[in-house]
Amino acid sequence: MRLKVVLDTNVLIDAIPECSPRRIILDALIDDRYDAVLNNEIFKEYEEKLTERFDPEVAEWALDIFQQFSVCTNSSR
């Protein structure tokens, strides 16, 4: 059975810098080692917090990763 993960927004923010020890979490998603699970509510929170914290290009890059490598659900819970 494939691992499915919902990433806390703070964990995602911490995983973006290449020098972060948590970068392995984002790299594992890119390497297709697990499925990130999210819904519209979670994606909007990611979008809001990433655009507050990072340059637009970095935020867009991270959001694109989640659009490519995530399993979406319609449920908010």
Q: How confident is the model at residue 20 (pLDDT cuts 50, 70, 90)?
A: very high
* Global confidence as pTM: 0.86
C-beta of residue 15 within 8 angstroms of C-beta of residue 22: yes
Alpha-helical runs (H) found in the chain = 9-15, 23-30, 40-53, 56-69
**pLDDT surpassing 90 at residue 69:** no
